[in-house]
């Protein structure tokens, strides 16, 4: 994944460990972020009434899709 846009995806990729002893895992940072908590994703990536039908996949090009509110401008998602 070259350029993640969705907050949850960004957090997942940030959690991937590197085989580098000089870069230890920071489990506290992962808990603080609350990646699975939709309230931390921002309005663009969550349904207003917690109704999944309010969301759609926005095409960012080159096969990169991100789930966001219907009508979200792909340019603004980057």
pLDDT tens digits for the chain (78 residues)? 678 888 888 888 877 777 888 877 777 766 666 777 788 888 899 988 888 899 999 999 888 999 999 988 888 887
Q: What is the pLDDT of residue 21?
A: 83
Residue with tokens 């759609």: 56
Is the distance from CB of 47 to CB of 55 less than 8 angstroms? yes
62 domain-assigned: yes
The first and second tokens of residue 4, run together, are 């993640």
Range of the domain at 44: 7-18+26-77
70 domain-assigned: yes
55 domain-assigned: yes
How many domains in the chain?
1
Q: What is the pLDDT of residue 65?
A: 92
Q: Where are the beta strands (DSSP E) in 1-78?
A: 55-59, 65-69
40 domain-assigned: yes
3-state secondary structure of 22: coil
39 domain-assigned: yes
């Amino acid at each position: 994944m070259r350029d993640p846009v969705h907050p949850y995806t960004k957090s997942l990729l940030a959690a991937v460990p590197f085989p580098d002893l000089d870069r230890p895992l920071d489990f506290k940072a992962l808990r603080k972020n609350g990646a699975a908590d939709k309230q931390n994703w921002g309005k663009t990536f969550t349904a207003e009434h917690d109704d999944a039908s309010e969301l759609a996949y926005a095409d960012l090009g080159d096969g990169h899709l991100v789930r966001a509110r219907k009508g979200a401008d792909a340019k603004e998602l980057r």
